[in-house]
Each structure stands twice: as C-alpha cells, then as structure tokens.
Structure 1
Amino acid sequence: MTLTEIILAVAGSPWAYLALAALLVVDGFFPFVPGETFVGALSALAATGSGPEVAYVLGVAVVATIVGDAIAFVLGRRIGLARWAWMRRPRVAGAFAWAERGLRRRPAVFFLAAKFVPIGRVAVTMTAGASGFPVARYIPLSIAASSFYTLYHVAIGYAAGSWLSAHPLLAIIVSIGSVLILGFSIDTVMSALSRRRQRRMLMADDGDGALGASGSRD
C-alpha cells in the first residue's frame, strides 16, 4: 500500500473526525498542536472526493475549536498566566502582555485577528479568563471568531483540493503551506503594529516627562 493510499484510508474513516476534534480541543489551550493544519489537510482531501465530508469537517472543527477555547478561558480564570513553565517563556509571556493590551482596546476585533496567530489565540483566550472578561460577552465573541477562523481554513483547504484534485498529497502540502503563511504574515503585521504603538507611547511619556521637567525648572 502506498503512502497516498494509507492517508486516504485514514482520512476516509470516522477516526479522522475524532482525531480532528482531539487536536483542535488541545490546540485551544496548548499552542503547539497543529490543529488548523489538519483542518486544511482534511478539507483538501474532501475536495478530491477521496476524503471525509467537508460539511462534517467544518462542523466538527467549529465545535472543537469553541470547546478548546472554553477550556483555555477557564484555565486562565482558575490558574492565571504563570502556573506552567511554558507560560513563563519570554515569547509566551510577551504574548500574554500583548493580549491584555489588545483586549482593553478593541476586544471584538482582537479576538478575531488573534485567532490566526499560533500563540496569540491561546494567549488572548487565557488572558480574557484571567482578567475577568465577562462570560456573557466572551461566549458570542468566541463562537463568531471560531466559526470564521475555521471556515477560512476549510475554504483554503477545499480550494487547494479542488485545484489539485488529481494529486491529493500535493493538495495537502499546498493547503498546509497556505495556512502557515497566513499565520506568519498576520503575526508579523500585528507584532509590527504593537511595536509601533509601544514606541509612540514611550515618545509620549518622554514628552510628558520633558514638559514636567521644564515646568519644574520654571
């Protein structure tokens, strides 16, 4: 049996949905699991006609993503943002600080945009829980962001599979590559915007300090 035949056999079985759900639930609170790439891969195979049903992939993925986010929200509320060693790594700690700033300014937009940033989506959800973000406000934002986020990855995977229907493995590679490129691009843009905002704040603080010093000399 070839590698392609093995992948298609696994993807066409009910175990594929179970694996998808498990990956996305864990991905919701542990940011080192490639849940979204598996969504794209299964969607690509669905488009070739030799994989799972795309409607089932979308439904399972949306529900599992919402559940994973809910776990992250509860963990943030119960244990805070520094309990485990991986939370204290510089990049992760920086992501929590970034998430806190974003949630204070534009929570609805931030919930959606952060979904596409690998560590960002976990950081935002856990920070929301730890900061006492209202549950009644969190639930609709989580459902909307998870649905849009999942629909995007399903669409990318399905488009790749339709384009490369005769080459299932190549379709998987293209769909995964597209998902990773988007996440990296959004991460880069949001990081640049955050750094620029911090520079502006520092300049404003320096200006206020200079004015204060000038006033005191007078």
Structure 2
Amino acid sequence: GARLAEFNGSKSLSCLVSTMLRSNPDLPEAHRLRGWYDNGGANMETVNISARSGGQSGGSGEWITFSEADARKLGTGEKGDYFTLVGVLTYMFADNAIYKACPQEQCNKKLVDQENGLFRCEKCNREYPNYKYRLLLGANVSDPTGDQRITAFNEAAETILGHSAADIGRMSEYDKNAYTQLFEEVKFKTFVFNFRTKMETYSDEAKLKTTVMSAKPVDYKDANAKLVKSIMALSGVQL
C-alpha cells in the first residue's frame, strides 16, 4: 500500500517499506483503467483535486521533511506555501548577517555610510547621525532527507542566535571574537522551523526562496509524540 498524507489541503501518496509496484497487473480494475486511458483518457485535461491554498499557514501542525516538501511541490504556486520542519543549522553566513539600518521605526533600509559621521537612507532620502542594527541571516538547514539555503529576518534571526540585533551589532563592531564565537555556538543546533517557500526569479533563473517565519527550540516531548504518531500511521500499529 501507500501512505496518504494531507498538508494545506494538498494530498500526496508516499511509498512504504512494504510497498510493491507492479506494471500492468492482471486485475479487472487495472484493465478498466487501461481501457479508459487508451480511449481518450490520456488526452483529458488534468484537474487539481487538492484544493490547495497557497499562502495559507498550515493549521494541522504537521511536521514534514524537505523531501516531502519537494514531492508536494511546495513553493511553486503563485502565493507560496508554508510548512513546518525540524532541522539542524549546518552553516551560517556570519560575515553579512548584521547591517546598519534606517533609524525610522517603519523603515529597515540599509544605510550608506557617508564617511562624515552621517548615514544616508535612500528610501527616506535623508541622512542620519544614528542608526539601528538589523539582522539578515543566511544559513543552511538540513534534515535527514535534504538540505536547503534559508533566510531569517530580524526577529527570527534573534531567536536563532539568542541575542538581540543591537547586542550582535555591538559585538561585530567591538568584539569580533565574541561575534564569531556566537555563530559557532549556534551551529548544529536543532530547531522547529516554520518556513515560507516561494519560487522567485533572479537573473532569468527560477530559484526556490525559503524564509524563516519563526524558529523555536525542539520540545522533545512534543517531538517524540509526533514521531510515535507517524510510526503508528505508517505501520498500522495501535499503541
């Protein structure tokens, strides 16, 4: 048999360890299906029965893997998709993780250092003597099925790194060793990530962009309960 799963209204079938695939089996149902296919079924327009709603956050609380996200083609719709995954931070791009941003509350534009004690915001078209620090963290996240480049903006990055952007900014300015050590300490930590993924085009090349909407340390009691539930669904065993 196969495992039927549903996420955000999108249904998928996954093979099990016990699954056997047979080509053109000698069964009445298979003969009827083959007859339909050969008599016009092959030319019919494909209809999506998943009722998938891109841009909607999954309400089921289901954790999936990178391979499952890929199999479901998450991110290929117009609005993008959300999914939750338990992953390990395997690499972080520390060199460009912090920047000086416009001090205005509603503006996070990166400032241009005028080298005269002032910083210019091109968006606001103004110069300021002060600034605020913002995080823009690029990283690689891995799970047992794959690896993906992700981006975490300020609030999510603060959660991952365990420090405020202001503190990290001061480290980058005045204590490079502490700054470097901070990223080393977080490397290989496991988090429950909520991602938004969407296909975007850069230089005429389509690439999947995955953004961290939230991240939190793993609650292993909750994680174990979810694993047991998945094992029961796969094996058909009731505990």
Q: Do these two structures clear the TM 0.5 threshold for a shared fold by scoring above it?
A: no
Q: Which has the larger radius of gyration?
A: 2
TM-score relative to the length of structure 1 = 0.29
Question: What TM-score do you get using the length of structure 2 for normalisation?
Answer: 0.27
Select the structure that is richer in helix: 1
